[in-house]
Structures are given as C-alpha cells and as structure tokens.
Amino acid sequence: MTEMKLALLKEQAFSGDARKQCEVGDYYFFSNREDNLKWALYWYSHAAKQGDAAGQYNLAYQYEHGMGVPVDKQKAFYWYRCAAEQGYGAAENGIGDFYHYPGSIPTNVCIAGYWYHRAAQHGDSNGQCNYGIMLQFGELGYVDYKRASYWYSKAVQQEHLRATNNLGFLYEHGLGVEIDEIKAANLYTKAAIGGDGMAQNNLGKLYRRGGGVEKNLREAAYWFAQSALSDYDEGIRNYVRALEHGEGIEKDMVEAAFWREKLIMNRWK
C-alpha cells in the first residue's frame, strides 16, 4: 500500500468509519513487524467498539494469541461472542473452539457443535472441517459419515488441508461415500503437497501397499519423511520403519534412532 493510500485510509478511519478502521488494522497486522501489532490492536479496538464484526473477530484473535497484547482469554471470548452473534463465521468457529478444548471456560461438546455448525453454515472452512470431525468421530453422540463428507467437501472447495485429508480417508475406507482409492489418493496428494502431516503419512501408506496408486516404496518413504518433518507421530513411526528395514530408502540405523528419540520427546510435550 502506498503512503498516499494509507494516509487517505487513516483519514477515513479517524473520521469514525469502522470498516476503514478495520482496514487500517489489517495493514498493521499483516505488515510482518512485531511493533505494529499494537497499532493493529488500536484500530481493531475502535472498529470493534462500533460493532464491526471483522474488527471484533480480529481483536479477539489478538487477545487469544497474545499478539501485541498479553493473552486474555476472557476478552477474546467476549469479542468472539460479539462477532459470532452477528453471524461472523470465523468467530463462531472461535467460540466453538473455546467450548471444545479445555481452557478458560468449561468444555461442552454440544455447545461446541452448535457453534461449529453455525460457522459451517456461514461458510467458514474451519467450522466446516471441525463440524465434520465431530460427525465423523461421534462427538455429538452419534456418527454420521455422510454428513461429515458433505461438510468436508464444502471445506475442500476452500482448499482446507485437514478437511481434504479427512475426505480422502472417507473415500479410502468407503465411509459415507462409495469407496474410491484413486480419489482418496488424489485428495491425500493435494493435502500432502500443502503440508498436512496426516495426509503425508496417509499418502505414504497408499504408496507402500499400492492403494489407488502404483506401489512405490521410494515414494512411500519420501512421504513418510515429509510427515516426520511435519512432526506427525504416525509418520515418524513409519519413517523409522522404512529406515530400519531399508524400505524405499537406504537403511540408516543412526537416523532411525534420531527419529525414535523424537517420538519419545513428543510424548512428553
């Protein structure tokens, strides 16, 4: 953004335009400078207090993650709730996270599911994926693979990596959809290239046994290595196996020992 354009944007923000205040906040937040986060907080605060949902969400995010301000989960929850009540999908997902994971408020999977579902309906890809996970694993008291696949598909359209992996898993195992290992491999590949550790491991397993792809132990070892580098435990175990048995890669007991130690360290995190 040019200095002239920023000056004009600030002039509009100073005049009380909440949307422009949020845009100035965005400028500072995404400037990749730590000292600018406090200015992002300043402008998001002004936008939030005027009822701007995006400003409220962004302010909540900074409080939750301690960006430019000390972590304050209560303030984060308050501002997420303000934005969520206006139907802001990302904030609805944020409220779902607060109820889903142990932290500053008592967990309640039913309430979490309610907010994830609202976020999903409002097009938030994280909400779509999270609601799909709850349906896939029966966190709401029942399993519904078909609806899980529906919401994963919605998130995949927005290139959500974990949803892409999860939809691939449903296709690999024929859960809620017709079994299709080729489609599973394609989905795993897309998520794996994007850096999802679980997908990298799943793709490696397909190459190891020749499911939906031609069996290729070298490719399997490559993807297990990528999964290990992504710090995904099952990927580390499969990479260790490849190293110890020379499956698609030169046998290397020293390297295998290193990754075994990494697994042990992960358990203590």
pLDDT above 90 for 222: yes
3-14 helix and 18-29 helix, angle to the nearest 10 degrees: 140
> Does residue 265 form part of some domain?
yes
Q: What is the band of 268 on the pLDDT scale with cuts at 50, 70, 90?
A: confident
pTM above 0.75, yes or no: yes
Percent of the chain with pLDDT over 70: 100
Please state the rounded mean pLDDT for residues 152-178.
99
> Does residue 143 form part of some domain?
no
Give residue 259's pLDDT: 97
* Distance separating alpha carbons of residues 116 and 121, to the nearest angstrom: 9
Q: What is the band of 239 on the pLDDT scale with cuts at 50, 70, 90?
A: very high
Please state the rounded mean pLDDT for residues 187-203.
99
Give residue 261's pLDDT: 95
DSSP calls for 109-157: HHHHHHHHHHHHHTT-HHHHHHHHHHHHTTTTSS--HHHHHHHHHHHHT
> Does residue 108 form part of some domain?
no
> Does residue 35 form part of some domain?
no
CATH of the domain at 189: 1.25.40.10
* Distance separating alpha carbons of residues 67 and 186, to the nearest angstrom: 37
Give residue 162's pLDDT: 99
Q: What tokens were used for 65?
A: 């993650």
pLDDT above 90 for 98: yes
Q: What is the band of 3 on the pLDDT scale with cuts at 50, 70, 90?
A: confident
Give residue 100's pLDDT: 97
> Does residue 221 form part of some domain?
yes
What's the domain range around 221?
Answer: 175-269
Please state the rounded mean pLDDT for residues 182-203.
99
> Does residue 93 form part of some domain?
no
Q: What is the band of 45 on the pLDDT scale with cuts at 50, 70, 90?
A: very high
Q: What is the band of 32 on the pLDDT scale with cuts at 50, 70, 90?
A: confident
Q: For 99-135, how does the pLDDT look when each residue is reduced to its tens digit (9 = 90+)?
A: 999 988 999 999 999 999 999 999 999 999 999 999 9
Please tell me the total count of domains within the chain: 1
> Does residue 193 form part of some domain?
yes
Q: What is the band of 158 on the pLDDT scale with cuts at 50, 70, 90?
A: very high
pLDDT above 90 for 269: no
8 A C-beta contact, residue 113 and residue 128: no
Q: What tokens were used for 4?
A: 């002239």
Q: What is the band of 242 on the pLDDT scale with cuts at 50, 70, 90?
A: very high
Burial pattern 187-214, b for ≥16 Cβ within 10 A else e, equals: bbbbbbeeebbbbbbbbbbbbbeeebbe
> Does residue 256 form part of some domain?
yes
